[in-house]
A and B are shown apart, each in its own frame.
Chain A
Amino acid sequence: MTETLVRETVAEPPDRAAPPRRKRREDPGRGWRLYLPLGLYLLFTLVPFYWMLVFAFRPTGSTALVPWPITFEHFDTVWNDLGFGLFFRNSLLIGVGTLGVVSVLALAGGYALARFRFRGQRVFLLALLCTQFIPGAMMLIPLFVIFKGAGLLNSLTGLVVADTAFQLPLALILMSGFVRNVPVELEEAAMVDGCTRLRAFFAITLPQLRPALVAVGSFAFIGAWNNFLFALMFASRQDKFTLPVGLSYALGEFNTDFGALAAGGVVAAVPVVLVFAVVQRFLVQGLSAGAVKG
């Protein structure tokens, strides 16, 4: 299927006299059919976010649906009294660590998949795809035993390692799609001019892969930032808690303090939602480029 698809896409003729305007006139209900379901879905997406913001910014006891005047008391509570400042730092270190390791390994492996043809390539790719079927929750027991033996319990490094193992396969597959999109001819021209492959890679290909690195790295960051079970299982000491673990305790202990829960939620949500808003474009592009079908 992929091959027919590629051929069709390539064979696409240049745009002829633009027909969309004519189409729109034929189709008077288009606005309704588009904006009504979209509006309803946006409501479904945004009301929960809004609910959290309202609870986070309105004073305790208030039931106003618009949080005015805004208060930061809940943020003060969670950040200083409940330790979310520390959890934020832990999550950030794990997220950035995973981002770094995954980006470098995915770049190396993705380049190998895209630019070389070698024995075992198909097996490697198949193995990467198969890892997507491995359940994280079900790996808890063996990983716990390994981590205990390796002294990686209650350590941020251990969590970076576990997150890397689970984020790397998809990152590598995505990255190989991105590398394939950079024309190999540029690199070869540089090599003809006397560059080594390594020089050619750093001078020619790497700069073109900057958006790809942003995308792949961000998804690794989001995955690590959000991981709950590994952090719960492998870091039981409170000074190693991450935001999801802290939040899960807030769910139990402060069931009545919705303001604190919401403020903790905002602290956990803001970084990933911002990162995601920036990079979601690349995800669709990367997948379109054939990474999934790869």
Chain B
Amino acid sequence: MTALDSRPAVAAPRRRRRQWAPYALIAPTVAVLAAFLLYPIGSVLYYSLQRYNVTQPWKNGFAGLDNFRRMLSDDPLFWQSLLFSTKWVVAQVGLQLLLGLALALIINETFVGRGLARSLVFSPWAVSGVLTTGIWILLYNPSTGIFQELANLGVGDHGTSVLGDPATVFPATVVAELWRGVPFFAILLLADLQTIPKDLYEAASVDGAGRWRRFLSVTLPHLRDAIVLSTLLRAVWEFNNVDLIYTLTGGGPANQTTTLPLYVARKAVDSHDFGYGSALTVAGFVILLFSSILYLRLSKFGSRA
């Protein structure tokens, strides 16, 4: 945000006279965001205090904190989905960061075929969650999938069904999402790597720092804010990710892979219980908000400015 202040202050008098111009330029954006993001957030707060079910309109009315009471005390699925959401976010963000950083470091080197390699490894980023599901269902299917081919080569057993087995459904889902998620980190971290001045490395080399030492004392500190910001954005995004899990496992088997947003989406799409769904949404907001603030505090984001 400091970049705003570093702009040269030119033609200031003219700008002051035409002070309406920037407001006119951002007005449509403000209107769209107010109508379709801000207002809905307000209305979710309102609905969370209501009994509101589209299929049972005669029961609608003010419910006070009933929805929240029901959520906290009589809904084991709320707690279960929250726990799974946490597990999902930690696994995804951790692994995506590690692989994405490694990938960014490799792509940042100069080598033959770099441009092509870059386009190829980034390409899953453009693929939707549903399509990812489609692709991985083809890959995982027990009769003509990759495990069948591997079994033909003598690796593993015939008829392995990784999505049907409760022991493997979680890692299998994680791998599918990793395939699509790693490029995000790789792109963001690569962008930041390219802003590291080369002479920092040269200076470190002159001082006798080895490759690992240079990574620890030059690269990593430089990337710190980018890592904090990208992990935070990604954690929020993975917390809210519904497309892939909804279509790949449907939250099953036996709700084992139901995340909180998936639970909300099912309340909204399937049972039309908007009041209770809104209460779940509010809970999700509050949890995200407080964990984000806590994370930024703990990581001392931007403190080196």
Interface of B is mostly: helix
Q: Is there an interface contact between A287 and B191, defined as CB atoms closer than 8 Å?
A: yes
Q: Is there an interface contact between B25 and A111, defined as CB atoms closer than 8 Å?
A: yes
Contact with A along B9-41 (1 / 0, CB 8 A): 111000100110111011011101101110111
Q: Is there an interface contact between B274 and A293, defined as CB atoms closer than 8 Å?
A: no
- Complex Cα spacing A47 to B30, Å: 44
Which of the listed residues B21, B128, B141, B264 has the most CB atoms from chain A within 10 Å of its own CB? B128
B302 interface residue (CB < 8 Å to A): yes
Report the minimal beta-carbon distance from B195 to chain A, rounded to whole angstroms: 6
A194 interface residue (CB < 8 Å to B): no
**Across the two chains, which residue of chain B brings its CB closest to A226?**
B128
Known A122-B4, A138-B284, A165-B36; judge A268-B128 contact (CB<8 A). Answer: yes
- Name the contact of A294 in the complex, choosing from B1, B121, B264 (C-beta under 8 A): B1
Contact with A along B91-124 (1 / 0, CB 8 A): 0000000010011001101110000011111111
Which of the listed residues B99, B241, B243 has the most CB atoms from chain A within 10 Å of its own CB? B243
Q: Is there an interface contact between B33 and A165, defined as CB atoms closer than 8 Å?
A: yes
Q: Is there an interface contact between A272 and B127, defined as CB atoms closer than 8 Å?
A: yes
> B35: which A residues are within 8 A, CB to CB?
146, 165
- Complex Cα spacing A48 to B133, Å: 11
Q: Is there an interface contact between B264 and A293, defined as CB atoms closer than 8 Å?
A: no
Q: Is there an interface contact between B133 and A251, defined as CB atoms closer than 8 Å?
A: yes
- Complex Cα spacing A34 to B25, Å: 47
Known A250-B134, A284-B187; judge A37-B106 contact (CB<8 A). Answer: yes
Give the size category of B's interface with A: 35 or more
B8 interface residue (CB < 8 Å to A): yes
Q: Is there an interface contact between A131 and B37, defined as CB atoms closer than 8 Å?
A: yes
B281 interface residue (CB < 8 Å to A): yes
**Across the two chains, which residue of chain A brings its CB closest to B31?**
A105
Give the size category of A's interface with B: 35 or more
Interface positions of A (Cβ within 8 A of B) = 1-6, 8-9, 11-13, 19-20, 34-35, 37-38, 41-42, 44-49, 51-52, 55, 63, 65, 105-106, 108-109, 111-114, 116-118, 121-122, 124-125, 127, 131-146, 161-162, 164-165, 168-169, 172, 180, 184, 188, 191, 197, 222, 225-229, 232-233, 244-245, 247-248, 250-251, 258, 261-262, 264-265, 268-269, 272-273, 275-277, 280, 283-288, 290, 292-294
Pairs across A and B, CB under 8 Å, 23 listed? A5-B195, A12-B199, A35-B111, A41-B99, A41-B106, A112-B22, A112-B26, A116-B21, A117-B4, A139-B40, A145-B43, A164-B32, A184-B7, A226-B127, A250-B134, A251-B133, A261-B134, A268-B134, A269-B127, A276-B122, A292-B188, A292-B229, A293-B225
